[in-house]
Amino acid sequence: MSESLNSVRMRAERQGLHVSGAERLVPFSDVEEVALSMVTRALHHPRGPVTKISLQVDLISAATVQFGQLPDLFNNQVTCWQHGRQLASELLLSCKVAPAAIERTMATLAKGAALNNTSMRGAMLVDAESGVRLEEDHVRGVRASRMDLTDEARTELRALLAANQLDNQHVVEALILAAKVVSAPQVIAELCWSDDPDYVAGYVASQRTGYQRISLLKPSGEERGGRAFFVCCARNQLNSLVEWLEKEPMLINKIGRIHPPKKWRGK
């Protein structure tokens, strides 16, 4: 790739509480339009109103861009969020996350993983064996950043998602984020549910399972959401993992399969 890219990042808050964030990697010609749409989105966010919007644009050298691929999407339909969390636990177990680590992390996300029991700005970093939280700052967490789809991959993905009634911004952004995060060999799985009160779906993602979308992972109206990256990582490699997740650019030029909905009835 010869053309340089720009990382465009937005974060919005209300009196210190995280409201919304967005990440794109785009050519210079698209910076203005993308930046404007992020500001518009922050101003009209369902978790709003906001009191501060931060926008950051950084030039990225083409030589540093890594290429990636989206995971396959599996569309699990559950009838209640309790079943959703059961399914998420099973999937995380299949990735070899320890049962106590799963239980502890879910409880933390459910009560709000930041201080004052609110949502964090970024993700928890959790030792997959012990369940211990490893992120330095429990409010900010770790922010996966500088990842996006190529235009061609975005067009292809949105057509495929639309054919499966899944074409919305949450799905597109979550697939991109998960693609980068689970491509790190130290991350054995990711768990996520939204902090938007009306968006009740979430997922477990890993190299092993792909992106396992779960239709319900929380009750409607709930604003406590979050992400946990389960890692198997020596302490002295943690800084470089976080640095890679937050700074290294990844452009995704290949999409995955979208599987049809499948009912899951609980155990």
Q: Which residue ranges make up the site for ligand WAQ (CB under 6 A)?
A: 21, 23, 119-120, 122-123, 143-145, 170-171, 174, 177, 192, 194-196, 199, 201-203, 213, 225-227
Looking at the Cβ atoms of 76 and 89, the one nearer to ligand WAQ is 76
Closest Cα partner for 68 from 156, 180, 185, 209? 180
Query: Which is closer to ligand WAQ, CB of 79 or CB of 99?
Result: 79
Which tokens in the block code for residue 66? 């890594």
- Considering CB distances under 5 to 8 angstroms, the limit depending on partner class, which of Mg ion, ligand WAQ, none binds residue 203? ligand WAQ
Q: How far is the CB of 91 from ligand WAQ (least distance, A)?
A: 14
CB of 2 to ligand WAQ, least distance (A): 28
Query: What is the Cα–Cα distance from 225 to 240, expressed in whole angstroms?
Result: 26
Cβ 178 to ligand WAQ shortest distance, Å: 9
Q: Which residues pair with 203 in a beta bridge?
A: 192, 213
User: Which residue is it, tokens 């500088």?
Assistant: 146
Min separation Cβ 152 and ligand WAQ, Å: 22
Q: Which residues bind Mg ion (CB under 5 A)?
A: 195-196
CA distance 7 to 241: 19
The partner in contact with residue 108, picked from ligand WAQ, Mg ion, none with C-beta cut-offs of 5 to 8 angstroms by kind, is none
Tokens for 133? 């939280």
**Binding-site partner at residue 125 among ligand WAQ, Mg ion, none, CB < 5 to 8 Å by type:** none
CA distances from 78 to 199, 217, 230, 260 (A): 15, 9, 24, 14
- Among residues 131 and 202, whose Cβ is nearest to ligand WAQ? 202
User: Which of 63/168 has CB closer to ligand WAQ?
Assistant: 168
Taking the complex as a whole, the smallest distance from the CB of residue 170 to Mg ion amounts, in Å, to 8
Q: Which is nearer to ligand WAQ, 16 or 99 (CB)?
A: 16
End-to-end CA distance of the chain: 49
- Give whichever of 201 and 251 is closer to ligand WAQ, judged by the CB atom: 201
Nearer to ligand WAQ, 164 or 207 (CB): 164
Chain centre distance of CA 195? 11
Q: Least CB distance from residue 52 to ligand WAQ, whole Å?
A: 16
The one of Mg ion, ligand WAQ, none whose footprint includes residue 170, by CB under 5 to 8 A per kind, is: ligand WAQ
227 binds, among Mg ion, ligand WAQ, none (CB under 5 to 8 A by kind): ligand WAQ
